[in-house]
Chains A and B, each alone.
Chain A
């Protein structure tokens, strides 16, 4: 029960922290927020009246308390402000984009976890030092690849040179939108995320496995003559599953971060790309709204994973 409470507290804490940072960061930074609103341009040219009109429009003349209260009530109502670029509500922008990010990150998460855990188990438990060292060195190399650069290389190889796959957007501009079309557009961005995420998954799984491999119950199982394959997947991996499960939570964070640059490279219309567009256009409400939603996505994934905890660890099942 305490675990549930602790996790609920963590969820709440992360959410509050994100909300607070979102409010504090623009106001803490040196310089008038006007500069940010006016697009970072020269604000010296504005007359006092223009200045005050701008400040009034964004409620920046009120006391910090009032500003914070208005900000919070807005959030509760689902109001994230309006985009400076086209005047549409930020929530509308986000609504259009979030599906693509969920599709991309979800696919990458699934494949990375399954492949990474399988490879780590196969190589780490092989009991041959060279195989283990090779696997570890390779995963360090994969982990060192900058995702945006891998994306560019993929575009070059599979898009430009070989012409196998589309490299732009999530659907074809003309006559797109079918399942095959969406899948085709998903292959390269997802592969980029998977390739660069495999290393971390491998390394964490490996250290979790090694901690288990030294324990007595594994030695005992080996003495009992349990076949190697069952020993690997049935005993060692089973006992190492909980830390791996925690890893999946961290992975969501990495993948979301990776998605920002990968979506930018592939012009994939998700939340990550929206972050980049907001930075380029100096559209601050849009930027902050996207950040908040990305945090909510991570929290959502955490909650989902929490629900599967009892499936993996019998100790966390509530006894009747």
Chain B
């Protein structure tokens, strides 16, 4: 069937050059919108993230596009500034989690033996712990600053990447040229830097995107439970106050409850779609058959 397909039209050809396909392009466009919103929030947003610019519970108007919350903060500005929090947490946490995961996974795969067994049992244990309750306990005691949240979420999400990177390392080790290099007396470090890192690097991108998705949702849940950083605008925190003030029992749900929820979902979806497209590109066998 693929042979009979018409050649791609010009508009599509440009997207195809990026190699992301329809699904991936949607993800890329969505994500760029969010990144733009995050970068330009201080200039685009009419008010600051903690500025009480209007009377509480205002309906949408020309000054307050999405009305105001229970203390008179502009909801549209909160939405824009909240993008920053979600993106920063998503990216920073994913970097940290993948860093730890890669270190643990490649060590386990390279050294094997007892180190491997011990590290993998630790991974199993971390995977089996109920992460949101643990995160709640930890952040109740550790505080609510964004940096703390990043460290805590990463401490709970490095385990799955570690396991996948370990199996990728083990698999890469069986390849001909790596076996030859090992036979010729290459040290473990050399194996890792010269050979295995090349084999495992493409895997890191989808893993990074997945870790970011998890982190964004976890931060939202945490903030929704009232454990968000009080000095920052966060979509979860906006929804926490909406829930506390029962905003969804009145008309206010349209401008107070729907926008942050849609924003969280859309941001996470954009990472997810990009991930699918990249995975497809790296490993066509996961889709073709």
Which chain A residues have a beta carbon within 8 Å of chain B's beta carbons? 9-10, 13-14, 17-18, 21-22, 25-26, 28-29, 36, 127, 129, 132-133, 136-137, 140-141, 143-149, 152-153, 155-156, 160, 207, 210, 213-214, 249-250, 253, 256-258, 260-261, 264-265, 272, 275-276, 279-280, 282, 284, 287-288, 290-291, 294-295, 297-299, 302
The answer to whether A25 and B257 touch across the interface, beta carbons within 8 angstroms, is no
* Alpha-carbon gap, A25 to B23, bound state (A): 43
* Alpha-carbon gap, A22 to B136, bound state (A): 12
The answer to whether A276 and B129 touch across the interface, beta carbons within 8 angstroms, is no
Report B-chain residues with C-beta under 8 Å of the C-beta of A275.
133, 136
Q: What is the size, in residues, of chain B's interface with A at 8 Å between Cβ atoms?
A: 51
Residue from B130, B137, B269, B286 whose CB has the most chain A CB atoms within 10 Å: B130
The answer to whether B265 and A144 touch across the interface, beta carbons within 8 angstroms, is yes
Determine if B6 is an interface residue (Cβ-Cβ < 8 Å): no
B117-166 at interface with A (beta carbon < 8 Å): 121, 124-134, 136-138, 140-143
Report A-chain residues with C-beta under 8 Å of the C-beta of B217.
144, 146
* Alpha-carbon gap, A258 to B242, bound state (A): 19
The answer to whether B121 and A136 touch across the interface, beta carbons within 8 angstroms, is no
* Alpha-carbon gap, A136 to B275, bound state (A): 12
The answer to whether B140 and A284 touch across the interface, beta carbons within 8 angstroms, is yes
Among candidates A141, A143, A147, A291, residue contacting B134 with C-beta atoms closer than 8 Å: A291
The answer to whether A17 and B125 touch across the interface, beta carbons within 8 angstroms, is yes
**Minimum C-beta distance from A289 to chain B (A):** 10
**Minimum C-beta distance from A196 to chain B (A):** 10
Given the interface pairs A144-B213, A152-B257, the reply to whether A288 lies near B287 with Cβ below 8 Å is no
* Alpha-carbon gap, A14 to B121, bound state (A): 10
**Minimum C-beta distance from A83 to chain B (A):** 15
Residue of A nearest to B265 (CB): A144
State which of B95-103, B194-202, B219-227 sits at the interface with chain A.
Answer: B219-227
* Alpha-carbon gap, A22 to B134, bound state (A): 9
Which chain B residues have a beta carbon within 8 Å of chain A's beta carbons? 23, 121, 124-134, 136-138, 140-143, 213, 217, 220-221, 224-227, 236, 239, 242-243, 248-249, 253, 257-258, 260-261, 264-266, 268-269, 272-273, 276, 285-287, 289
Given the interface pairs A152-B257, A214-B289, A279-B140, the reply to whether A256 lies near B133 with Cβ below 8 Å is yes
Contacts beyond the supplied A141-B269, A257-B130, A261-B224: 16 A-B pairs with Cβ under 8 Å: A9-B121, A28-B141, A127-B289, A140-B272, A152-B253, A152-B261, A160-B249, A210-B286, A253-B131, A256-B133, A260-B133, A261-B132, A279-B136, A282-B140, A291-B134, A298-B128
**Minimum C-beta distance from B165 to chain A (A):** 17
The answer to whether B141 and A10 touch across the interface, beta carbons within 8 angstroms, is no
Residue from B127, B129, B236, B239 whose CB has the most chain A CB atoms within 10 Å: B129
The answer to whether B261 and A146 touch across the interface, beta carbons within 8 angstroms, is yes
Among candidates A129, A207, A295, residue contacting B130 with C-beta atoms closer than 8 Å: A295
**Minimum C-beta distance from A74 to chain B (A):** 18
Top 5 closest A-B pairs, CB basis?
A257-B132, A144-B268, A149-B261, A140-B272, A29-B141
